[in-house]
Structure 1
Amino acid sequence: MTARQALRLGGDRIGSLGSRVTAALRDLTVRPLSLYSAAAMRIGLAGLYVVHLLRELPHADRLWGPGSPLTPELFDDTLRARGWDGAFGWWYGLLSTDSSLVFYAWYAVALAVAVLYALGWHTRAMSPLFVFVVVAFYIRGTSANSGWALLSLLFANYLVAVASGRRWSLDARRRAKRGNAPSRYVFWGEETEELRRRAVTVLHNAGLGVIALQVMVIYTSAAMYKIRGASWRDGSALYYAMMSDDFSTFPELSAWIVSHGTFTAVMAYVTVFSQVLFAALVFNRRLKYVILVVMLSTHLGIGLFMALPMFSAITIVGDLVFLPTSFWLAATALVRTWREPAAKPGERQPDTAPDSVPDPGPDTGGSAGKAQAGTRAEVS
């Protein structure tokens, strides 16, 4: 091969790579990714917050209300000491009141917002309102917040940019009934509307990317802290964690598990290595589900044996961002199969109509042109 042929071959490869990169970047502006994962995260986060508010309702007065040890006067002093009494001071002190009636009125509003957000009712309006609620409760309970509260706050903020109402929502049902009828709320030209659609798509994909990055940072940083500890290096960390009175749901069962020293040591190493390698393995098509199952097992173990159910649940919600659309379509088809009544002996199964096949939506399209067409029909 001559030098000219080598240069021509290299130029062709560079041109092919450049065209693929350009197509991928163009695809990110017209094809919203992982719409089912976004919907699952919305339902999971808002549903957990509903459970949280209902579970803490008997103790709400002591946690965030007038009966809290952090009295409204002391809370206002805390805001001033931290420099939070500026333009958003009214927001941060929303729950700081001496009136039980006012407090429980805001509590009812927060519960209603979380329920409507989980149902996907006017999701674009509900998502910032949900953040409004979460931030108010987080700041008011600043002296008793946990990892669950912090992660719920972060995910709620990130989901504002995500189009989480395109699937499994009341908004999606309303759009399906409307069909291909044009939206009544378009007040500008087609070019401006196309620019708006692409901006929404870019924000959606960027929001999912930030959530994925946040989850990877959580796992990697947790692994780095574990590696620094001698108990994790010698495999005895789970023994001390499960034998702690503060983190023990079933003391007898925990004692029986830690009596098998080799098993607990192996589980400790599996926990560390799975967190270290998570960011590298989760993007591999073959190993993605393996590492996600390992992390799911870890979270379930933490929630069951260490009395941290809300923290385990919110981390599982974060992991949902890595599940592809093909997984959700397969799961949906499986659920529909289970829900179908069994055919009686000798009864002929009806043929499946073409329109009964679930629409994969624009997030599973192949080319940018098909994705753009799907996005135009779906983005409102």
Structure 2
Amino acid sequence: MTLRQAVGTAARTPYGLYGAAVVRIGVSGLFLLNLLREAGHADRLWGPGSPYTPELFRASVEARGADDRLSWWYTWLGTQSPDLFWAAYVLAVAVSALYLLGWHTRIMAVLFACVVAGFYMRSSVANSGFELLSLLFANYLVLCASGRRWSLDARRAARPAPVPVGPREELRRRVVTVLHNTGLALLAFQVMVVYGTAALYKIRGTSWRDGTALHYALRLDDFATFPGLSDWLAGHGDWLAVLAYVTVSTQLLFPALVFSPRLKYALLVVMLGTHLTIGLLMALPMFSAITIVGDLVFLPTAFWVGASTAVTAFRTSGPCRWCCRGPW
């Protein structure tokens, strides 16, 4: 296929519609879960009661040289009014839930990106990888047609309706397709950058080169979910050294191997195991979950269609056929 043919195909065929839908559901679902989980501490984390006061927040924004006319979309949460903050919090919960369900997805995608940016900036002094990846993924999803599958929009579009035709409609479809494919490519590229840079930073550290990094990580009390289990694992230095080398190797080779039809699934399984281990043993469940969501963009449409078919078959003929009737 020539470059011209590839560009023409990318302008006519939207790729990874199921993958975009899964990332939409994953990112919005995790962000909604985080908002609800921290409801009792929301004022201290993002509101006027935070140690990072609205005055300090505005001063830090001004120190960055931000233009007041352009910075409103990520500084809107810096209010001194408790009533306005809680109204904004409820709005953020509603937007996240509607985006998760895929209701008017194009509009909700923009609103959700502004919501994530506002909360990210408001807690910028204590952000983790979860907040940063949520912000990046939310911005890329603005370009994607993530509501064409597994959404209320997709259900509404499946109803019989007149199909618009004409040059203007064809141009609109091509623009939407190009934007969608671009957003999906940016999502995939971002995941590859995360793994590639993580591996390069690890290689620079002597503890990763000599295989002791995981041993020392398991000895950190602040990140020990199960101290007894962490201590037991820390006593198996040889196995931890092997796991350290496997971790660095898979992250370093991820950008190349993830496009291999044969090695892709094995690579993703290894990364899944890595993230689950981090979430379980190092008390970083949200970071692990958002990285797993990012990995899902590399699974092909055939995988999601097969998974959907399997779930539908299980619901209609399996043990739960009496309580879960209907298509998925």
Pairwise TM-score range, normalised by the shorter structure: over 0.9
Is 1:23 equivalent to 2:24 in the alignment? Answer: no
Instruction: Please provide the CA RMSD for this pair.
Output: 1.8
Contact 1:120 1:169 in 2 (8 A): yes
In structure 2, the CA distance between the partners of 1:330 and 1:63, relative to structure 1 (3 Å rule), is same
Alignment of 1:242-253 (within 5 A): 242-253=218-229
Q: Which residue of 2 aligns with 1:263?
A: 239
Q: Which residue of 2 aligns with 1:287?
A: 263
Matches of 1:357 and 1:117 in 2, distance apart? 21
Matches of 1:79 and 1:22 in 2, distance apart? 44
- Which of the residues 286, 311, 328 maps onto 1:310? 286
Is 1:157 equivalent to 2:163 in the alignment? Answer: no
Contact 2:21 2:148 in 1 (8 A): yes
Normalization by structure 1: what TM-score? 0.82
> How far has the Cα of 1:52 moved from its partner?
0.6
Q: Which residue of 2 aligns with 1:12?
A: none
Is 1:194 equivalent to 2:170 in the alignment? Answer: yes
Is 1:100 equivalent to 2:100 in the alignment? Answer: no
Instruction: Provide the identity percentage.
Output: 60
Alignment of 1:62-73 (within 5 A): 62-73=44-55
Contact 2:312 2:327 in 1 (8 A): no
Matches of 1:263 and 1:23 in 2, distance apart? 49
- How many corresponding residue pairs? 322
Q: 5+ residue gaps in structure 1?
A: 1-16, 184-188, 344-355, 359-380
Q: Which residue of 2 aligns with 1:81?
A: 63
Letter aligned with residue 245 of structure 1: D
- Which of the residues 141, 149, 153 maps onto 1:171? 153
Matches of 1:226 and 1:199 in 2, distance apart? 40
Contact 1:33 1:205 in 2 (8 A): yes
Alignment of 1:1-380 (within 5 A): 18=2, 21-177=3-159, 179-182=160-163, 190-341=166-317
Q: 5+ residue gaps in structure 2?
A: 320-325
| The structure with more radius of gyration | 1
Question: Deviation per CA, 1:177-215, whole angstroms, max 9, x where unpaired?
Answer: 2x25235xxxxx711110110111011111111111111
Letter aligned with residue 182 of structure 1: V
Letter aligned with residue 129 of structure 1: L
> How far has the Cα of 1:100 moved from its partner?
1.3
Letter aligned with residue 122 of structure 1: H
Letter aligned with residue 143 of structure 2: A
Letter aligned with residue 73 of structure 2: W
Matches of 2:115 and 2:24 in 1, distance apart? 15
SS in structure 2 of the partner of residue 98 of structure 1: coil
> How far has the Cα of 1:342 moved from its partner?
5.1
Matches of 2:76 and 2:92 in 1, distance apart? 12
Matches of 1:232 and 1:90 in 2, distance apart? 42
Matches of 2:183 and 2:73 in 1, distance apart? 24
